Structure 1
Amino acid sequence: MHKNSGLYLMGSLPSHHIHLDFKKSIQPYCKTFRIDCKFSLQLGTSPFLYTQLIISTNTLLAQFWKMETTITTEKYMKNWIVIVFWMFSMLLCAQEKTWTLDECMRYAVEHSTKRVKQEAQNEIYKQNRLEAVGGLLPNLNASADGNMSFGRVLDKDTYQYVNKSTLYNEYALSSTLLLFDGFAQLSKAKMEKLNKLKGIQQLQDIKDMVAYETMEIFFNVQYYQGTVKLAIQQLDQSTANLQQVKRMEELGIKAAPDVAELQAKEAEDRYLLTKQKNLLVQEIIRLKEKMNFPVTEDIKTAGYDILLPTDTLRENATDIYQKALSYSPKALASNKSVESTQMAVNVARGRFFPKLSLYGGVNSYFSRMMDGTPYTPFRDQLNTNESYYIGLSLSIPIFNGFSRSAEYKRSKQQLVIVRTEREETLRSLYSDIEQAVADVNGLADEYRQAGKRTESMKIAYQVNQRKYTEGLISVLDLNTSANRLLQAQVEELYTNLKYQMKYKLLNYYKGQAIYN
């Protein structure tokens, strides 16, 4: 080994610093053998962390042959390199994944039980469609019959009854084609096709709603993470103020009531921090539940890109609504539901018409006596005994206990229900779009005002701190100023997160995917 040799590795590790210093004395081959392992870790915007491994050897004093010294040194170096790489691998595997908003939404959709159930329902729609289309095609049936008879039979030659044993086989191939049934089967095929298309839109709507609900909880987690940070800052400031007042009390500048008041403020801030941490844990549990995340594993959410509010939107709710009618899963599913129910009415109406079918087939048989009497070969008998038939079947419904009329009336009332539900869905869609536009415009202005308010509160609190130090205001006034600053910071955080969520929702109504 050469002195001060170096090895550099690149890796991704957790956000902490480690310094390992191994010292090993190898006798009698060398005086000292030192390995300095320094992991320089930094978590920033880049997910890759720089790891530096420095391996140095100092003052190798060989007392035996040069070859033996080299071999032994290389042996120890290999062992230490294996140990260092093992530690590196353990740290690499132990790092915790950080979940972004898109990753959370995508995971929630992929593991949603609602999605699984809707996909199963869509498969049912697919099979119903296949069955309905098959009803328009000719059916084809084959049959075979075989029997053996024993006892008295009529002899065709003498017309006398004799005791005989007979083997008989019959084969048939038949087919039936529906010609007319009041277009009931055709309407059923169209109905099942519409149901299939409706299921596709329902599945997309479920995915979007699961993603949006996950986004809401994700932003709740971000909110409570922010309030925890603000509570920590508030507690640190209260602790610093308390320590300052205690020193001033020792100097006779402040009185004991001031210390007691700040102690109460510190206790209140400590309670607030504990409460916010508990609320954060509750929201993380809700997020894991919505995502169907393994209950035994922890989840760590990443931050979000702050979206600064823009100017007031020029689009109005009516324009967005008119465009959304062509791509919104809710609107498309409700339209397909109405069309499907209309086809169900046509199916029920078709039951009143006569049903005309074309049928035909071919038959043949084989028979022989079991007493050894000579018989015609099997193939020859099938050709000789082959027969064909074709015909028309007409079925006219006259009376069946009011079942057809009841089915028809039920389908018409169901159509009224579905049309009403569509109106409710479209009205709700318009209201949601109108509310989203109003929220985005209103929250944009609120966020700008909240930012100005926070800056003003910071300046006011700094001024009040100086005033309190100079004895110009009481400790109650200082605490009031601190609480107002905290409230302003919380409001700014809440307004920004709500703006982010409403802005994404509005873009969804404009046709953008809610998640990548």
Structure 2
Amino acid sequence: MRLYLILITGLLFLSEVSEAQDKWTLEQCIRYAVSNNLDLKITSIENEIKKEDLSQSKRNILPSVSLSSGGNNSFGRSLDYTSYQYVNTSQFYSSLNISGGMDIFRGFIRQNTISLRKMALLAGIEDEKQLQYDIAFVVMGAYYNTLYYNGLAEIAAEQKELSELNLKQTKKQAELGLKAKSDLLEMESRLAAEELSLIQAQNHFKTELLRLRQAMNIENTGEFEIDLQTPEVEITAGQATTPSEIFETATHFYPALKATEMRRNVAEKNISLAKGQLWPRLSLSGAYATNYASLKGQENTASFQKQFKNNAYQYVGVSLTIPVFEQLGLRSGVKKARLNYLQAETELEKKSQLLYNEIDQNYQQLESSLAEYNQLVKQVRFAQTAYEAAEKKLAQGLISIIELYDSKNVLGQAKTDLLKTKLQYAIRKKTLDFYLGKPVFEVETSNAQ
């Protein structure tokens, strides 16, 4: 019997754990969204392509070697490759050629190409990181919006419940002749309005839950429940850092800024590549070739092995190519490369300015949310006390139904504003923590090879 009770208790515990795991937390939603985002998958594939481009640019330094071989059987008048005279008979001819070449000097184009493609890959990796964080912030915003409308529905349900209790008491008083029928009608009208507010809040909750699913790219099959527990946020008295200090920290790791910086470096390397086209090109080449020929009906033809050995020839050559006049196209390329660099430099400056403005704005909004939160905590406490006092006054006939509802609406609005401010504070706090380099989200990023 004791063992049976232990097994039942264990099964109930596992059932509760399973139910708890069915509710998605914010971290789980973010991880799922990052793992299933199609734009992120496309970016990851693009980075794999850039990685292969980098590897190929390194292999391009190696010499090139090619092997060719062929054979043909000619009929009629043709050149006899054994005597180099024209004959009028069929002939079989085959050849073998091995050739190779490499650049000795090419204006450092190959080396600069390797550097350029490495920086392009690093920029792509930073883009992938930024996209992951962007997805995380979108999911977080949708998640907190869902929590807000769920809290709004709970407040509306609480308001409706209070109205139902007051209506029940008023009905009893109306039956005893202590309340007028008009008061009863007023309360029923207000209750209907609060029922509508509850339905609207529940519909908003469903809409935000759908947006969260879409942000996560999760299929709309089966039930989808999130942890509706409002996150506990540590409300601090003030920030220990300034916007300038946060910006200074963010510049060392912020992916979007690092990607723009890498593209500026790519533009700078393109200037070197364009200049490299103006330099002379020195290259080395060599080849080994041989052939075999046989005339039909000729009995004294040398053997295949002997002809391949005797007909073999080799060569090694060095070539120098100097660009003399290319319709000034090469110098135009250098000029455009410099202009592209100035454009990339300006883009980096713009991105830095936008980052600072965003940090400054979030910092000020966080301070504002803190001040509003502290004031709203007091307002909720005072409104709760005022509403309880209004209920007592209504029972004593000292105030009207409308005054009671005014007091209750003030309480409901204060709770709504407090919930909204608390969630806004949480989002802005996480945003600033992200700019400070703190591990706000658990996302996996690629590494350069």
Normalization by structure 2: what TM-score? 0.91
Deviation at 1:304, TM superposition (A): 4.5
Deviation at 1:251, TM superposition (A): 0.9
Alpha-carbon distance between aligned partners in 1 of 2:129 and 2:32, rounded to the nearest angstrom: 15
AA aligned opposite 1:123: E
Alpha-carbon distance between aligned partners in 2 of 1:158 and 1:476, rounded to the nearest angstrom: 122
AA aligned opposite 1:469: A
SS of match in other structure, 1:361: strand
AA aligned opposite 1:424: K
Q: Which runs of 5+ in 2 are unaligned?
A: 443-449
Alpha-carbon distance between aligned partners in 1 of 2:72 and 2:81, rounded to the nearest angstrom: 20
SS of match in other structure, 2:232: coil
Contact 2:119 2:266 in 1 (8 A): yes
Q: Which residue of 2 aligns with 1:280?
A: 205
AA aligned opposite 1:318: S
Alpha-carbon distance between aligned partners in 1 of 2:291 and 2:203, rounded to the nearest angstrom: 84
Distance 1:4 1:145, change over 3 A: closer
Distance 1:389 1:118, change over 3 A: same
- Asked if 1:480 corresponds to 2:406, the answer is yes
Q: Which residue of 2 aligns with 1:451?
A: 377
Q: Which residue of 1 aligns with 2:429?
A: 503
Q: Which residue of 2 aligns with 1:123?
A: 48
SS of match in other structure, 1:6: helix
- Asked if 1:430 corresponds to 2:356, the answer is yes
1:336-393 deviation per Cα after TM superposition (whole angstroms, max 9, x unaligned): 0100111112212222222221111211222222325243333333233222111112
SS of match in other structure, 1:459: helix
Distance 1:220 1:381, change over 3 A: same
Higher RCO by CA contacts (8 Å cutoff, separation 6 or greater) = 2
The 5-angstrom pairing of residues 312-391 of structure 1 reads: 312-371=238-297, 373-391=299-317
Greater CA drift, 409-418 or 351-360: 409-418
Alpha-carbon distance between aligned partners in 1 of 2:282 and 2:244, rounded to the nearest angstrom: 51
Among candidates 3, 27, 32, match of residue 107 of structure 1? 32
1:313-355 deviation per Cα after TM superposition (whole angstroms, max 9, x unaligned): 1111111211221111112111101001111122122222222
Contact 1:353 1:397 in 2 (8 A): yes
Distance 1:234 1:367, change over 3 A: same
Contact 2:80 2:295 in 1 (8 A): no
Among candidates 177, 180, 183, match of residue 105 of structure 2? 180
Contact 2:93 2:291 in 1 (8 A): yes
Alpha-carbon distance between aligned partners in 2 of 1:153 and 1:235, rounded to the nearest angstrom: 106
Distance 1:321 1:10, change over 3 A: farther
Contact 2:93 2:292 in 1 (8 A): yes
SS of match in other structure, 2:90: strand
1:387-446 deviation per Cα after TM superposition (whole angstroms, max 9, x unaligned): 211111222223344543443333222222221111111111112222233233332332
Contact 2:106 2:280 in 1 (8 A): yes
1:69-89 deviation per Cα after TM superposition (whole angstroms, max 9, x unaligned): xxxxxxxxxxxxxxxxxxxxx
Deviation at 1:159, TM superposition (A): 8.8
Deviation at 1:161, TM superposition (A): 5.2
SS of match in other structure, 1:178: strand
Q: Which residue of 2 aligns with 1:6?
A: 4
- Asked if 1:260 corresponds to 2:258, the answer is no
Q: Which residue of 2 aligns with 1:65?
A: none
Among candidates 215, 219, 222, match of residue 144 of structure 2? 219
- Asked if 1:229 corresponds to 2:162, the answer is no
Alpha-carbon distance between aligned partners in 1 of 2:283 and 2:236, rounded to the nearest angstrom: 68
Alpha-carbon distance between aligned partners in 1 of 2:81 and 2:241, rounded to the nearest angstrom: 95
1:222-275 deviation per Cα after TM superposition (whole angstroms, max 9, x unaligned): 111111111110111111111111111111111112111111110111010011
Among candidates 32, 49, 69, match of residue 16 of structure 2? 49
Deviation at 1:220, TM superposition (A): 0.4
Contact 1:212 1:514 in 2 (8 A): no
Contact 2:82 2:293 in 1 (8 A): no
Contact 1:148 1:165 in 2 (8 A): yes
SS of match in other structure, 1:9: helix
Q: Which residue of 2 aligns with 1:309?
A: 235
Among candidates 407, 411, 420, match of residue 346 of structure 2? 420
Contact 1:221 1:283 in 2 (8 A): yes
Alpha-carbon distance between aligned partners in 1 of 2:85 and 2:235, rounded to the nearest angstrom: 107
AA aligned opposite 1:478: L
Q: Which residue of 2 aligns with 1:61?
A: none
Q: Which residue of 1 aligns with 2:119?
A: 194
Alpha-carbon distance between aligned partners in 1 of 2:46 and 2:158, rounded to the nearest angstrom: 52
Give the alignment's Cα RMSD to 1 decimal: 2.5
Larger fraction in helix = 2
AA aligned opposite 2:388: Q
Alpha-carbon distance between aligned partners in 1 of 2:127 and 2:276, rounded to the nearest angstrom: 29
Normalization by structure 1: what TM-score? 0.80
Deviation at 1:448, TM superposition (A): 2.2
SS of match in other structure, 1:467: helix
Q: Which has the larger radius of gyration?
A: 1
Distance 1:143 1:410, change over 3 A: same
Q: Which runs of 5+ in 1 are unaligned?
A: 14-40, 51-91
Among candidates 367, 378, 396, match of residue 322 of structure 2? 396
- Asked if 1:271 corresponds to 2:213, the answer is no
- Asked if 1:298 corresponds to 2:265, the answer is no
Q: Which residue of 1 aligns with 2:57?
A: 132
Alpha-carbon distance between aligned partners in 2 of 1:157 and 1:291, rounded to the nearest angstrom: 76
Q: Which residue of 2 aligns with 1:238?
A: 163
